[in-house]
Structure 1
């Protein structure tokens, strides 16, 4: 009996300790102390669990001594032992977990579970420096992605993912902002489609490159997809003030003769022109350019609205004066984001709005004029009737100036052309979305998502030319010139889809199915008072047909043992651009991934991660421009007043039929992708290597039409196929990792791409690539078996000293006559290899970063020299013209005979340092979360190249015919956080 009492006495504490109790508490964010709704709380080792409500409160029945596991996306999980009826917990943000999440089409995935070719770049990895438009945050950062930006303020960029996939349709990637695909057509009056978007508002980019990743977007996805996610509201209160100011300067000029050199050349080459020379010494390139200032200020505030709703508001202002006189860009932005949750966190709401006022002053391109304008003439002439600017003119005896007094075909003063021209625009843009994500109470594995978005732009502008400009002189009247315009673009979106996610044992499924509807509307109104104010300049209103895109889509991700992953997707898209018979396109895709390391190297530290990816898919293309929305319909335009008919005394306007093609259909691109993602030394280094093969068929292009077969001699048709193949390699990681001292991380990527035309309509060549100089010259060709935009030129013959012989070309077909049949294909306008390198170093509070990019086997046609560097061009009508000094090397005289020589095809491979930045951070200024970072940086640091032109990075498929020079910018900046 005594033994029984002893056992009962020993069990009493255990019985008391394990009694069932109701535990309550609040879960808060560690740094802000804000409540966190939706935290998952489970008794460890059981299915007993609950979630926190909107105020972060919870209640659960447990036994004393149980261990509660608290988990929430974006926070580190924590375990707590129950010791009483109250248990309050604070969770810490998990930056690594957040970085693992990658935004994809209609959902998210993680880096380790991705099956397609996807690259995510978050804010901490963005390029630094004078970033005015968002895409330059990515320049050189992603394998297979090339970004080429102009030098004018707020300039747009040519963006290509894996080289594009079309001949004549758009090669621009689809850009999606918070789930809203935006229009690739820039509204008239704006710099570019992205110039009105503040880079400071962007949280991350996801670049989808292969069809298995992009096919979920079907329409417009054949050129890849760039998903932009803007910054959202947070629970933690914070203020961020970011400021910078920079000075822009000209780095280089085209080398032309100065005034004294020019006089000497005239004396040697054509002394009859000496009386036409002036007495000045003018560098016209220096005169049309100037040092300029740029500045940026951004202020954002994060925190809880009404102590419950995560919110963010921001304002920003960017001012950038261009190098070219009068060129100006101003952007004022405001944005807000709120992210409330309702119904015990089952309904998540995301509301984002961004408003922009973009103000531009455009400056007409005067670079070509400045290159050739007589350097012996002054900028100003006190006797000039043209507001004191030098111009070529002769007054009649009556002293009245009219258009007949202007020297025929003489150029106008390039400085006057800039200063006497006012081209201003105001562009207002609002884009945003409302996203509702409801997780069913009765079926927690399923969610319903609705995303409604809008992108609306209006542009008002005018162009005014001074009444003192030669252009405005007309029959003795000084009339001036004034032209106004109003443009309107509207893009609306509705997406609705269901998402189902469940794990059963070792098997997991993540499925999505939905519907998408998007409509684009465009209006253009032009009102002019042009010179003679004739009837042809009456106001014109153009309302384009609405473009409607409809899609049905589905995707399923399967996983087994978290090692074998399979993704299947399908989209059926319809476009109003094609006829009913060809309106719909089908875009399937499949991808498989195997986490090899978990099977073959489970204990390896050297190979910490190895994943094989295989992908296949079909994507579509229908974007052939805003002017080609209804080619399948019978269309007529009203003839001009000069083409009216008179019947019975009544004046009747005529209708002119336009090109029509009822058989126009989707261009399709099929992509095959295979690659390995790897991590080395416990993921200290990570990267990928992959190969791809793309085949585009039914290529959309504006091509010639047989005479009499349509109402035009050319129009858009489906004309052929071409293929692209390439290899991409990326590696990055911590080269030096020392918490108390020096740290260095770097990223390198390189891409090899080769494109070849497989077939064209009727196997006929297409001559493309217009070249300035001569009449109707083209220097490029589309030909079966070759890369698109290959250079098509004559083979230059050289003398024994290695100098070119003017007009001497190789007789390649052996018929003893030099004709077009002797032209040959000599390189092309696309680089074979691109590279990017980014480095970040830090030592205590100092940080130093820089980024480089390079193009190899990058050939450019130097049209600046081919159209201007010939001695015969010294005489320009009844005046003289300057020449590039390269004429001294060639000795050429006549443009017409030499412009198509391969002498002007140059290897323009280059290495550029885009930015270098040095910063110092003062920590704990006010509290442990406050800091001030001061920085200095240089943008467009240097370019190493053998190219003789101004810049080897040119836009127009490798044709260089004067560009707006890219400035070098020296910046100082400050970032304040608290």
Structure 2
């Protein structure tokens, strides 16, 4: 299939542009009351699929003939129909009609309008996307939608942690289901890629729809507990246009972990005894090296995107795009490169009764992975030592050594990065072919068939120089890994639309089949005679679903939606394979009632209520219910007829494993005031997840492990969401728009296995330490710490804690729960300001009530850490605040738990548009901006936004200065 798609793309890109039509009508569409040009207005020849959309300045052009009826439509405005009579230009002014609320919102297996939506669904289109240095598509949503939090590390092309309404699970996945043009994708990536969305070009995305409550997501059944994100890519149009976008960014890290300089370190070593013993100062060097500066670099990155759209052979709406992204990582050697090629064909047949949509995408991703573990090594490494040593047998880099013998301790981080070359390449082919047929004999009935395909082939090469310092007999590493993931989809459904008197009916019923495969191999270290190649092939995962939905609208005011899905999965045993996921929602458009429909203040008011059940079946052990065996090691062999045979050891099994289920109830209000100058929503929800997929202990002798995945536990999440969109100023040449959203979350574990606490959250420093706890009645992953004691001067006393249970013994029974990593309040704010040809946009985010355990300090900021086995090591200067000596005595202290609430300005951009440059060049927009502008926080570490609340040196985020240009033809 990939060969066919490649050939088709190559051929179509060579088709001359001159095949597009010759008769062209031009014009400008404006707002009637203000004469402001309207971008994105749909201009369609009635009765056909031929159409276009106005550009940034409201201009359009379209091929027409006498007698054609042109339909001009735009969200919030009355549609206008005009018959073409041969004129060369046609300017149109649209009248605002906000009460129609006809904005199309994509939902599962169909679409609706904002007015008719009964569930909690939010749609974001291209004009509302978050701006800035956007490399992966999920960041277009950052800070834009209430209830959606996106955390991305600073690594180039890095994937993100996406949570909708705090997720729904504890041990199982909290990732939302992501659907691209009707194809649900696998959240499990391949080893050569940065993430499942890293291969997707954000420039190809037209809109996102985020489905949050169960009444909206239940039609996806077993995978919908964590919400659904539907991505729609850009489609072909009949009128020719072209764009070229270029972006360049210059990045710099603005902060470092504060450690001792070389001179300060010499003074520290000379003056600081460890456990009463003076340090060996002969280990000090004569250099002065800032190791963090040496492993980090300023970065340069660029993105280029070209798109063409128009009618091939005068009848086939098409769009082509090509994109290139090159991003340097702040960590030495790390980089991300991506090349994208996409094709969209959108023909219609049989007098517009059959619509065909083909979306084909190729992505080539090339990565070099810099070892982020060297960030910690740079903090530790002796600042009095040089980077290079010409006499060194380890490639000319300085290493702690005695002759050719490497001394035990941290190794040179610059050498570790430059002498290692770990790369990953992934080639991804994905897309879908959709047939939408409206029956000739019964036009109210549509049949839809959607075929989807997603395949990624990945290769990793891990190479370490033979000169890398080691005392092992095997020098260096050379290994290769190969992996292939495929995702095949077949969806088919029928939709019946009919109005009976004053009742509008939409009925949908369908079937879905999806199969996932994953296989690969690894050569092992080809330099090690004891290393052998290996292969793997996971059991195929098959998901089957039967689904139905009924939308009923009474008098255009009273709405009812009923949804049902029955899902089967191969992840569970035959007795537990099938699950049922129903949902129901009602809504009342109060603003259409007689007592409000003429209101000058309230232009829209809708009440919503919904309830539904969704599922979760994403466990790591896909075959946990099967009888499985693993090979024993060299100590688990036996001899038979002079032949040595490896033993087979049975693995754990749980044939009773079944769905994790989440029941959600929600009440919501959608509002619009002053003819939609102010609009938004207010939602109240409660999610209860039961039969949690949880790794828990089992009695000795009852299984082949002391812990297995079980359905034990219950989690409750309650929340409030609020959003506001405000057109503060709307004038001819001056517009100000604000978007604000707020989310309030309360998480609580209602039930655990046998009511027992479960320790989690492993940390660096010592062996087997955990800093978080799961406990009934508390928030998930709450921090479990000792309460620090202080002397009369307010200084912490090392190893002294409050005896909370009063038994005169300080042990784990005296640890208490203090806060959790999840924010209680999540805020987002975006502003767009246009003045004549200038445009200004910026984006703010805030988290309140989230706490972070500073594992950088807790595992490093103690004086005993100066002695790093046989060598010396640097320390964070925060040790001066505590004067702690031993890590093991203090690592669980609550002194390292910090309030990490923050306010961030993610980006700010300023642009200017030059219009009507030439006959063919419609406009040029030049812009500049800053990414990661500032962070306001009391957290003492590098960044308060960390994964899962434990800061053990995340990949730092650069501040980027951006410049770009957008050309429209």
Q: When the two structures are superposed, what TM-score results if normalisation uses the length of structure 1?
A: 0.90
Distance 1:31 1:519, change over 3 A: farther
* Partners of 2:438 and 2:684 in 1: CA distance: 39
Corresponding residue for 2:39? Answer: none
Deviation (angstroms), 1:593: 0.6
CA shift at 1:250, angstroms?
A: 0.7
Structure 1 residue 623 and structure 2 residue 614: aligned?
Answer: no
Matches within 5 A, 1:467-866: 467-471=466-470, 474-475=472-473, 479-534=475-530, 537-599=531-593, 600-625=595-620, 628-740=621-733, 742-866=734-858
Indicate yes or no: 2:961 matched with 1:970.
Answer: yes
Please tell me whether residue 887 in structure 1 is matched to residue 879 in structure 2.
yes
Pair 542,469 (structure 1): closer, same or farther in 2 beyond 3 Å? same
- Are 1:322 and 2:314 counterparts? no
Please say if residues 219 and 622 of structure 1, whose CA atoms lie closer than 8 Å, have aligned partners that are also in contact: yes
Per-residue Cα deviation, 1:367-411 (whole angstroms, up to 9, x for no partner): 11111111111111111111110111223xxxxx4xxx2213x11
Task: Tell me the SS of whatever aligns to 1:528.
Answer: coil
Distance 1:712 1:798 in 2: 44
The residue aligned with 1:256 is 259
**Is the 8 Å Cα contact of residues 436 and 450 (structure 1) preserved in structure 2?**
yes
Q: How does 1:249-398 map to 2 (within 5 A)?
A: 249-270=252-273, 271-365=278-372, 366-395=374-403
Q: CA deviation at 1:641?
A: 4.2
Is the 2:43–2:72 Cα contact (8 Å) retained in structure 1? no
Residues 175/710 of structure 1: CA separation in 2 closer, same or farther (3 Å cut): same
The answer to whether the 8 A contact 1:31-1:236 is kept is: no
Q: Report the secondary structure of 1:272's partner residue.
A: coil
Shift of 1:533: 2.0
Question: What number of residue pairs does the alignment pair up?
Answer: 914
How many angstroms does 1:926 deviate by?
2.0
Q: 1:38 aligns with which of 47, 60, 63?
A: 47
- For structure 1, list consecutive stretches of 5 or more residues without a partner in the other structure: 1-25, 42-54, 61-67, 396-400
Give 1:29 shift. Answer: 7.5
Aligned residue for 2:407? 407
Distance 1:375 1:304, change over 3 A: same
Instruction: Give the Cα separation in 2 of the matches to 1:39 and 1:87.
Output: 21
- After superposing the two structures, state which structure 1 stretch, 599-608 or 442-451, moved more: 599-608
Distance in 1 (CA, whole Å) between partners of 2:112 and 2:327 is 38
SS of equivalent residue, structure 2 residue 946? coil
* 3-state SS of paired residue (1:415): helix
Q: Structure 1 residues 615, 35: closer, same or farther in 2, change over 3 A?
A: closer
Asked if structure 1 preserves the Cα contact closer than 8 Å seen for 2:561 and 2:586, the reply is: yes
Give the superposition deviation at 1:335: 0.2
The farther-off stretch of 710-719 and 236-245 is 710-719
1:944 to 936, 960, 963: 936
* 8 Å Cα contact 2:272-2:279 kept in structure 1: no
Gaps of 5+ in 2: 1-21, 29-41, 51-62
8 Å CA contact retained: 1:639, 1:653: yes
- How has the CA–CA distance of structure 1 residues 345 and 797 changed in structure 2, closer, same or farther, with 3 Å as cutoff? same
Residue 801 of structure 1, CA deviation = 1.7
Paired residue secondary structure (2:264)? helix
Q: What displacement does 1:272 show?
A: 2.5
User: C-alpha distance in 2, partners of 1:93/1:723?
Assistant: 51
Report the TM-score, using the length of structure 2 for normalisation. Answer: 0.91
Task: Name the residue aligned to 2:34.
Answer: none
Q: Could you give the per-residue CA deviations for residues 324-379 of structure 1, whole angstroms, max 9, x where no partner exists?
A: 00001000000000100000000000000110000000111111111111111111
Q: Distance in 2 between matches of 1:799 and 1:611?
A: 59
- Secondary structure at 2:493 match in 1: strand
Cα displacement string for residues 769-799 of structure 1 (whole angstroms, at most 9, x for unaligned residues): 0011011100000000000000011111111
Secondary structure of 1:279 counterpart: coil
* 1:959 matched to 2:950: yes
1:58–1:758 Cα change, 3 Å: farther
In 1, distance between residues paired with 2:238 and 2:353? 18
Please report how far the alpha carbon of residue 238 of structure 1 lies from its aligned counterpart in structure 2 after TM superposition.
Answer: 0.5
d(CA) in 1 for partners of 2:70 and 2:387? Answer: 78
Q: Shift in Å at residue 656 of structure 1?
A: 1.2
Cα-to-partner distance string for 1:590-611 (whole Å, 9 max, x where unaligned):
1111011222421112111110
Q: Is the 8 A contact 2:73 2:80 kept in 1?
A: no
SS in 2 for 1:219: helix
Distance 2:452 2:460 in 1: 27
Determine the C-alpha separation between the residues in 2 that align with 1:93 and 1:527: 67
Residue 112 (structure 2) aligns with: 109
> How far 1:651 sits from its partner (Å)?
1.3
CA distance in 2, matches of 1:28, 1:219: 50
Tell me if structure 2 keeps the 8 A contact 1:846–1:918: yes
For each residue in 1:76-106, what CA deviation from the matched residue of structure 2 results, as whole angstroms up to 9, or x when unmatched? Answer: 7445699x9x999989798999970111100
Matched residue SS, 2:401: coil
Contact 1:406 1:470 in 2 (8 A): yes
Pair 1:173 & 2:165 matched: no
Cα contact 1:829–1:859 (8 A) shared by 2: yes
**Equivalent residue number for residue 417 of structure 1:** 416
